[in-house]
Structure 1
Amino acid sequence: MPYVLLALAIASEVTATLSLRASEGFTKPVPSVVVAVGYLVSFFLMAKALTALNVGPVYAIWSALGTVGAFVGGALLFDEPVRPLGVAGAALVVVGVVVMSLGGGVRHG
C-alpha cells in the first residue's frame, strides 16, 4: 500500500507541475487551482507513504519520477524539445535513484 500512495503522490505532483506551466504565471484560474490542490495532495500522500518507507529513497523516487514525468509531459503537452542530452540526464536521474534504493532500502527497519 505505501507504494500505491507514493505512485499517486508522484502522479499528483506531475499534474501540479504541468498545471503550473499551463497556469501562465497564475493568470489562469483553473490550472492555478490544480497546482495548489495537486501539491497539497502530493505531499499528503507522500507523508502517508513515509509512515512505512524510509525518507531518503522515497524522496529520491518522488523527485526523480516527478522530474521525468514533467520532462515527458512537457514534451507531449507543450511541444517542448526533447534532445539527446536531456534524455541522457533523465536516464541518469533514474539510475541514481535505483542505486540509492538498492543501497539503503526503502522499508523501515
Structure 2
Amino acid sequence: MSKLSWFFLVFAILFEVCGTLLMKLSKGLSHFWIDVLMMVAYMVSLGMLSMALKKIDISIAYAIWSGMGIVLIVAIGVLFFKESLSLPKVVFISLIVIGAIGLNVFGEGH
C-alpha cells in the first residue's frame, strides 16, 4: 500500500472530526459561516477518503476512518464539552478500536 494513501486517510479522519466539531458548534445549522466551514470540512474529508481508497481496501479504510473519528470525537466531547465518560462507553468504543486494528493487522492484504 502506498504511504500517500495513509496520508490521505489520516487527513480524511482529521477533516471529518473537524466537520463534526463544527456541527456541534453550529447549534443546529444556525450559524451560517460555521455551517459553510462544516460542509467544506466534510467535502475535504470525503475527497481525501476517496483518494485513500485507491490503494487501501474499503473495509480497512472505512473501519479506521470511522473508528478513529469516534475516538477523537469522544475525547473532544469529554475534554471540551464536559460530556460524561461511563464504563460502558469506554468498553464499546474500545471494541470499535480493537475491530479497526484487527482488520488492519489481519486483513486480506497481510
| TM-score, reference length from structure 1 | 0.90
1:20 aligned counterpart, secondary structure: helix
The size of the alignment, in residue pairs, is 107
Residue 91 of structure 1 corresponds to 94
CA RMSD of aligned residues (A): 1.5
CA contact (8 A) 1:53 1:106 kept: no
Residue 7 of structure 2 corresponds to 4
1:17-32 map, 5 Å: 17-32=20-35
Q: Does 1:74 align with 2:82?
A: no
Residue 16 of structure 2 corresponds to 13
> Match of 2:26, as an amino acid?
S
Q: Cα–Cα, structure 1 residues 49 and 6, in superposed 2: closer, same or farther, change >3 Å?
A: same
Q: Cα–Cα, structure 1 residues 82 and 75, in superposed 2: closer, same or farther, change >3 Å?
A: same
Residue by residue, what CA displacement relative to the aligned partner does 1:1-34 show, whole Å, maximum 9, x if unpaired?
Answer: 1111100000000010111111100001232112
Query: Which segments of structure 1 move beyond 3 Å, counting only runs of 4 or more?
Result: none
> Match of 2:67, as an amino acid?
A
Deviation at 1:103, TM superposition (A): 2.6
> Match of 1:63, as an amino acid?
S
- The unaligned stretches of length 5 or more in structure 1 are none
CA contact (8 A) 1:57 1:105 kept: no
Deviation at 1:102, TM superposition (A): 2.2
> Match of 2:14, as an amino acid?
A
2:41 aligned counterpart, secondary structure: helix
| TM-score, reference length from structure 2 | 0.89
Deviation at 1:105, TM superposition (A): 4.3
